[in-house]
Structure 1
């Protein structure tokens, strides 16, 4: 097998393991998923899952890093920086955060539950939080550049306000504790952020 063919095979194996892990984590839950399940779905040996993906903890971190560093995420940040209408910008960041929450909430519920006791899982959660906060900071800086922030609200304060409303914990409170459907939560968050951040 040539060097190029080996590299293609290694990449295909990594992609298959990553896809299997994401599917099983979201469907069955992180803790109910075994390395053997990932190996079976990816059609590799369990030892390969450890060697290539670093086991479940390594795969969880890899999934988060791959998502936060993806070209799609880079394009999203560029899109936020290009929006000229403050209200449209708030609507966009709410839609993005709600969409990501919808995609990842089944896994995040379990990650939040175990993170205090599992340092490696907590590190993965910290990565996800850092990525979200970065997107919120980009939004706050854009609002400031547009001269749209309320008097007395600076970029740091605006980022904090966005975090309070759009963090995963906020969505859990609205959708789990209050049993709001996500569209209702999205509308309410858009209204509240518009009022809290923008000049009258």
Structure 2
């Protein structure tokens, strides 16, 4: 027990923190399920609350309004955890930075993209569709797309240091090439439509990027 500034006693309850985390996870999971099944417009906060078996006020307290729910669904799909993780702190980014050669960096990233799209792809495609009619979704789509583009410029800059990249393409062009292929579109076509495995998709991405970006390919 500890003393608060007003002389009263304050308490830290690990059990309460665990319960709050579990509630938040349930809310985000319910929102994900409903966004994918009903679409953004067809999903209500009350439906999310009912699916998560909590009160509507609990949804607002745990995550926020519907735009915040969608953002958290996207962010947790990217991170694979129950919270957003900045790009520089993600495990695969750390491993990319530590890898010595461009080919190994590309392989690590391609594998990460293949794994992430299994979680993110359906959500991202739903967000893209909703962005054509909903302003909140449009703003989130623009934010995420711009962030992806900035992250790819950082990725290519890290590759450039190895001395293995082509000189006839600018770093901006290379970043655009990677950006155009690390979204859900190629994943949906090859994995969902053509039945490729996640591993095959990751291997293909690494091969295409290596051939497109490096000197000897």
What is the TM-score with the length of structure 2 in the denominator? 0.74
Runs of 4+ in 1 over 6 A off after TM superposition: none
Q: Please, which of 175, 179, 186 is the counterpart of residue 194 of structure 2?
A: 179
Report what 2:178 is aligned to.
Answer: 162
Judge which range, 49-58 or 153-162, deviates more: 49-58
Q: Please, which of 42, 50, 59 is the counterpart of residue 49 of structure 1?
A: 59
Q: Please, which of 117, 120, 123 is the counterpart of residue 107 of structure 1?
A: 123
Is the Cα contact below 8 Å between 1:20 and 1:41 reproduced in 2? yes
Report what 1:84 is aligned to.
Answer: 100
| 1:100 to 1:132, Cα distance in 2 relative to 1, 3 A | farther
Q: Gapped runs of 5+ residues in structure 1?
A: none
What is the TM-score with the length of structure 1 in the denominator? 0.79
Q: Please, which of 64, 84, 93 is the counterpart of residue 109 of structure 2?
A: 93
| 1:12 to 1:188, Cα distance in 2 relative to 1, 3 A | closer
CA-to-partner distance for each residue in 1:157-186, whole Å, 9 max, x for gaps? 22111112222233334445x625144433
Judge which range, 136-145 or 15-24, deviates more: 15-24
| 1:52 to 1:113, Cα distance in 2 relative to 1, 3 A | same
Q: Does 1:37 align with 2:47?
A: yes
| 1:78 to 1:29, Cα distance in 2 relative to 1, 3 A | farther
Q: Gapped runs of 5+ residues in structure 2?
A: 1-8
| 1:14 to 1:121, Cα distance in 2 relative to 1, 3 A | same
- Deviation of the 1:21 alpha carbon: 2.4
Q: Does 1:148 align with 2:164?
A: yes
Matched residues in 1 for 2:177 and 2:207: separation?
13
CA-to-partner distance for each residue in 1:10-50, whole Å, 9 max, x for gaps? 65544442343235445x35445442332134332123324
Matched residues in 2 for 1:16 and 1:137: separation?
35
Q: Does 1:136 align with 2:157?
A: no
Looking at secondary structure, tell me which structure has more helix per residue. Answer: 1
Matched residues in 2 for 1:103 and 1:38: separation?
19
